[in-house]
Structure 1
Amino acid sequence: MAAIMVSASTGVMNSLLRKLATLMGDEFAKLTNLRKEVKHIIDELGSMKGALESLADVDELDIQTTRWRDEVREMSYDIEDIIDDFMCKIGEKKKKSGFVHDTIQRLKTSRARHQIAGQIEDIKKLVRETSERRERYKLDAPKSHSVAIDQRVVALYENAAKLVGMEGPTKEIISCLNDEEKDKKLKVVSIVGFGGLGKTTLANEVYHKLKGQFHCGAFVPVSQKPNIPKLLHSLLTQLGCGQSFHDCELNVLLDQLRENLKKKRYLVVIDDLWDASAWNIIKCAFPENELHSRLIVTTRIKNVAAACCLGHHKHILEMKPLSEEDSRKLFFDRIFCSEEACPSQLRDVSVEILKKCGGLPLAIISISSLLASGTFNQKERWKHVQNSLGSLSGTNLTLEAMRQILNLSYKNLPHHLRTCFLYLGMFLEDSEIYRDELVRLWVSEGFVSKARGQSPEQTAISYFNELVNRSLIQPVQIDTDGSVRTCKVHDILLDLILYKSAEENFITVVDSPDAITGQLQKPRRVLFNLDGATLPWDGSMSQVRSFAMWRSCKRLCKLYQLRHIQIRGCDTCQLPTKIRGLQNLETFDIDGSCLPMDIFHLPRLLDLHVPSVERLPMGVGKMTSLQHL
């Protein structure tokens, strides 16, 4: 837990130190006294950053150290906000020319510099007090027993999950779908089991083997809190008729699906269904046309599986953990390409590690990917991994036990990858994430370190590739050259990300009415996904710097610290008509069809992603800071 929290703190510290260095070089060249003050702050913050990185390798922190870490994080955010505000004020003088204007701007700039001088003195005092508190209470990291991982950059994705142990279940599902050939009625088959057992992998394998036997098909993820209209629209789109049904009422979508399917033999997978009430709506989309149509439902809940199959228990496949033989094959193939290649000194410890993985493919892939990233003959390192793991036995298949295993993979990430991994929590469950979009967000958030001979985007892609190689993100679309175009995050890994991010105030997820009033305590990054609700546009939102929304939003212009805006799932997106107040905005990414007319007044905008906009506002061509359009 502590490691994840500290890495979020070091993420903002990296961004802050770069901005302080830029400020010294660009704006304080003639202000010697202020340069000295800022240099002192940089030195102190650099020492704090080193301390935070040491704390990141500690499993649990005491209360005093935890409070100090939290103070450093919030202090870093506040200092960065002050610097951004100052840079915006100084930058105004470069926009216009003319004697009167220049005179006014010099006066304004003088006042701004006087103001920043006072603020820097306050910052210096705050930094000094925070540093002294660390010394006073001896808040140094205890000796760490964490596993050191050799850093490496992997250019291509190696497929770790080669459907080990899936042959038997695949045949069983296909047999169940194909029997009773004389019965032409619609048939539903459920796959049930704990998260990480491979239900989605199995359903996907069966779907691709059989879809050629049907007129049409679709594979639709549901998620724990489903947006039913969006799900039905996805169905229509995959069936080839969803283009003209955006923002339609639920009954219209259901009627259109029934009309489209009534004379077709269809195969549809409903993946990750959580409750029967959602099924009671979804099933209305599928007509009983007596053409041997088939539905496959995956779920973690036995009662839901039974409800989908109308009590026909022979239509339910309960996923079992991998056998000992299949577990070994998946584990050793991932690390050594074969079990025979495993060094003899690692065989006994390998057996013990596999026992703790309990036959769960996700756990085995996660731990084997962790071990594959190091030196093969480090027996002590492998023993440490064994001792750090909980046990995923048949009586302990719990989310908390799974978190413990996945958390070990997280803790062994290099520091520069940890914050990037946490940022994946800004995307909804089951989202297909474009690599290029993700790496641009990492860069603009300040998570990417400079590397000699590489652009920031190239360095960020290497970060992405390493997360793929460690099986922490799953490739979806792969280009012909082997590079990953899009990816997903397994829902259990996403649970780990959000669980820890909430504790660290790294990401605030608003997906229920209670979350609006209960979580918004100086949030920094907000993911808003709630129908029929509005955020409180008061002081509690003033510090938000990244905002992702799956709805329209007309009051964004009040979030003055915003660096990043991402709005999805709203084709008729309603935005404020004017947003020139968002002077810190760097990334603007929407899938709507309109843009605020004054967007060209944003001096720091680097990335404008508007694929559905047919005509850009006048003045966009004069945006000299814009790098991506």
Structure 2
Amino acid sequence: MFYRNMTLSTMAVSASMGVMNSLLGKLTTLMGEKYRKLKGVRNKVASLHEEFSSMNALLVKLVGMDELDVQAKAWRDQVRDMSYDIEDCIDDFMHDLEVKGATTGFLKKSAERLKKLKVRHQIANKIKGIEARVLEVHERRIRYNLDEYKPTSSIVHIDTRALAIFADAAGLMGIDTPRDELVELLTDQGQELMVASIVGFGGLGKTTLASEVCRKIEGQFTCHAFVSVSLKPDLPRLLQNLLLKLTREQSFESSSLDELIRNIREYLLNKRYFIIIDDLWDTSAWDIIKCAFPENNNGSRVLTTTRIYSIAAACCSRSRGCVYKMKALTDNDSRKLFFSRIFGSEDSCPTELEDISIDILKKCGGIPLAIISISSLLADQPKPKFEYVRKSLGCMFDGNPTLDQMRQILDLSFRDLPNHLKTCLLYLGMYPEDHEIYRSDLLRQWIAEGFVCAIPRLDGEDVALSYFNELINRSMIQPVDTDNNGEVLSCRVHDIMLDVIRSKVEEDNFISVLKTRKLC
């Protein structure tokens, strides 16, 4: 699957997020010195700039409302459509006015002058049409008298409690017992190649458990690697990634599937290897991947993770006893994870919040992802916020959440985000499942797309970094790599959270996801 973020001139920027920075910037350009001779057009553009600036302030606030009535949604959608049209119009106008090369000679100058007059007339007519549409929807705004969001003027730093969840997974997530059981299973067998599988509900921590097992026993093997498959895998790319992690040498992009399998088999043939294949969704992908693993009687091991028992059983067809079923966290481990994230330790919960916290915790059903999401939502919040969350979760279900209810939990966390963070999080919908996203690249992309608000005394990179850190603190994104100072250098989006983001992206027509023809 290939994900392409469209350029701002064609991308359907979400009006509900108030993302009109690019449009407003182009309107400002048309009012600038370069286009000073286009007086009639500039006056109309100035009027549109003022109107769209006002609309932008209101759009930012609309997204903060849990429910919008039909009129509000219709107004939002019409403003969004107008923003697309006028931005396309401006792009065409600027392109047509651009004079390529030196203009010499009377005839050429005359031709260019006539061209500009024609283009000016065309742009004026287009703007008249857009002005008429603006007037048609203007009355819809009167009923919404809302304040504009004002961003904080200080830099947000990483909350060490949020990093602790991922940095000390074995201690905080109750994963030590299943880890030790799996280690025993993988190391007490013979010298034949053995495939084991972890199976469990989404959000239970299968990937974390597999990572902990790898960290515990990787020293016993000549080489090891961890690769994620995802729902719609690009198998040639996946095997290229596996070969790179094993050999540390970049393979050619043009390598065929057969060639990649042959190269991996040749590299592993005489080695004792440990490979983790994370997030399998169907047996057909496994049937191809497993061809890369030679049965060399060196005590090699392969560990897979999946949500589906039949796939786990198929991976371990020679020994059904090698399927490990993930369980929900115990009450004690749930409490430890929940209270450590909110208060720093299990014993630091204020008395007035104990009963509310226990009620909320019961709704999470011992699922780590649900606990982390809700506890990050409640960190440093007053009692009314706890009561709001308890009431919201109570309307959803009574414990033991299903996958759809897990999405509702994450949706609750999404709706609690400030509007500017919602926009930045939606942008992550362009990345593939399980993709490692580098912070430096992401911050530059946010800035280039116009998602970063200007704040006095802070440059754009500092503001973007604050956005990134706050998303980490709220556990909307998960840290992957950190430096010695605790700064997060890369992140990943959990696949269930990615489902929520994608649903929002589709609803707001924010970006387009393109699926390429499978290569295998």
Q: What TM-score results when the alignment is normalised by the length of structure 2?
A: 0.88
Aligned position for 2:181? 172
Q: Which runs of 5 or more residues in structure 2 are unaligned? A: 1-11
- How far does residue 45 in structure 1 lie from its aligned partner after superposition? 2.2
Structure 1 position 95, deviation (Å): 5.1
Please give the alpha-carbon distance, in whole angstroms, between the structure 1 residues aligned to 2:412 and 2:155.
20
Structure-2 separation of matches of 1:267 and 1:446: 44
Partner Cα distance (1:40, 1:124) in 2: 9
Q: Check whether the contact 1:190–1:299 (CA below 8 A) recurs between aligned residues.
A: yes
Task: Please list every run of 5 or more consecutive structure 1 residues that lacks an aligned counterpart in the other structure.
Answer: 512-528, 534-629
In 2, Cα distance between the equivalents of 1:392 and 1:186?
A: 44
Matched, 1:494 2:494: no
Asked if residue 438 in structure 1 is aligned to residue 442 in structure 2, the reply is yes
- Residue 343 of structure 1 corresponds to which residue in structure 2? 350
CA distance in 1, matches of 2:337, 2:109: 69
Distance 2:222 2:78 in 1: 60
Cα gap change, 1:411 to 1:153, in 2 (>3 Å): farther
Once residues 334 and 102 of structure 2 are traced to their aligned partners in structure 1, the CA distance between those partners, rounded to angstroms, is 67
Structure 1 pair 302–63 and aligned structure 2 pair: CA distance change class (3 A)? same
Contact between 1:192 and 1:319, CA under 8 Å: does it hold in 2?
Answer: yes
Equivalent in the alignment of 1:154 = 156
| AA at the equivalent of 1:478 | T
Which residues of 2 match residues 37-56 of structure 1 at below 5 A?
37-56=44-63
- The structure showing larger relative contact order (alpha-carbon pairs under 8 Å, at least 6 residues apart) is 2
1:316 pairs, out of 309, 313, 323, with 323
* Contact 1:7/1:415, CA 8 A, preserved across alignment: no
Q: Which residue is equivalent to 2:265?
A: 258
Q: Is the 8 A contact 1:93 1:102 kept in 2?
A: no
CA shift at 1:318, angstroms?
A: 1.0
User: How far apart are residue 33 of structure 1 and its match?
Assistant: 4.5
CA shift digits 1:504-538 (9 cap, x unpaired): 22122233xxxxxxxxxxxxxxxxx33379xxxxx
Deviations 1:253-299 (A, max 9, x none): 22222222121100000000111121111111111111111111010
Give the partner amino acid of 1:393.
Answer: G
Query: How is 1:173-572 mapped onto 2 (pairs within 5 angstroms)?
Result: 173-180=182-189, 183-240=190-247, 243-310=250-317, 312-372=319-379, 374-375=380-381, 378-389=382-393, 390-391=396-397, 393-394=399-400, 396-398=401-403, 400-511=404-515, 529-531=516-518
CA distance in 2, matches of 1:276, 1:414: 41
> Contact 2:226/2:276 (CA < 8 Å) preserved in 1?
yes
- 2:64 partner SS: coil
| 2-structure distance, mates of 1:262, 1:532 | 26
Q: Distance in 2 between matches of 1:107 and 1:80?
A: 24
Q: Which residue number corresponds to residue 9 of structure 2?
A: none
Cα–Cα, structure 1 residues 294 and 39, in superposed 2: closer, same or farther, change >3 Å?
same
Aligned amino acid, residue 187 of structure 1: M
- Deviation, 1:104, is 4.2
Distance in 2 (alpha carbons) for counterparts of 1:28 and 1:230: 48
Q: What amino acid sits opposite 1:205 in the alignment?
A: E
Moved more, 292-301 or 118-127: 118-127
* Displacement of 1:66: 2.2
Residues in 1 aligned to 2:320 and 2:141: alpha-carbon distance in whole angstroms: 61
Q: CA deviation at 1:168?
A: 0.7
Give, in angstroms, the shift of residue 500 of structure 1. 1.9
Query: Is contact 1:358–1:391 with CA below 8 Å preserved after alignment?
Result: no
Q: Which amino acid aligns with 1:48?
A: M
The answer for the alignment partner of 1:75 in structure 2 is: 82
Q: Secondary structure at the match of 2:513?
A: strand
Q: For 1:359 and 1:410, how far apart are their aligned partners in 2?
A: 21
Deviation at 1:468, TM superposition (A): 1.6
Q: 414-423 vs 237-246, which deviates more?
A: 237-246
Maintained 8 Å contact 1:195/1:300: yes
Q: 1:99 to 1:354 in 2, by over 3 A?
A: farther
SS at match of 2:227: strand
Using the aligned pairs only, state the percent identity: 51
Normalized per residue, which structure has more helix?
2
Runs of 4+ in 1 over 6 A off after TM superposition: 148-152
Shift of 1:32: 4.9
The CA distance in 1 between the partners of 2:131 and 2:356, in whole Å, is 51
Q: Aligned equivalents of 1:384 and 1:7: distance in 2?
A: 27
Secondary structure class of the residue paired with 2:328: coil
How big is each residue's C-alpha offset from its partner over 1:347-383, in whole Å with a ceiling of 9 and x where there is no partner?
11111111111111111111111222x44xx211111
Distance in 2 between residues matched to 1:238 and 1:380, nearest whole Å: 49
**Contact 2:71–2:140 under 8 Å retained in 1:** no
Q: Distance in 2 between matches of 1:75 and 1:93?
A: 28
- SS at structure 1 position matched to 2:102: coil
The CA distance in 2 between the partners of 1:116 and 1:189, in whole Å, is 65
3-state SS of the aligned residue for 2:32? helix
Work out the number of aligned pairs and report it.
497
For residues 311-367 of structure 1, the C-alpha deviation after alignment (integer angstroms, 9 at most, x for no partner) is 633212111111111111111111211122222111111111111111111111111
What is the CA–CA distance in structure 1 between the aligned matches of 2:179 and 2:153, rounded to whole Å? 38
Q: Secondary structure at the match of 1:340?
A: coil
Q: After superposition, give the CA deviation of every residue in 1:94-130 in whole Å (9 maximum; x if it has no partner).
A: 7535465555444433332232222222221111112
Q: Which amino acid aligns with 2:282?
A: D
Q: Provide the rounded CA distance (Å) in 2 between the counterparts of 1:7 and 1:414.
A: 15
- Distance (whole Å) between structure 2 residues aligned to residue 342 and residue 263 of structure 1: 55
Cα separation, 1, equivalents of 2:94 and 2:294: 61
Q: Equivalents in 1 of 2:95, 2:279: separation in Å?
A: 47
Contact 1:214 1:266 in 2 (8 A): yes
- 2:7 aligns with none
**Pairwise CA distance, 1:457:** 3.1
Provide the rounded CA distance (Å) in 2 between the counterparts of 1:96 and 1:454: 41
1:166 partner amino acid = I
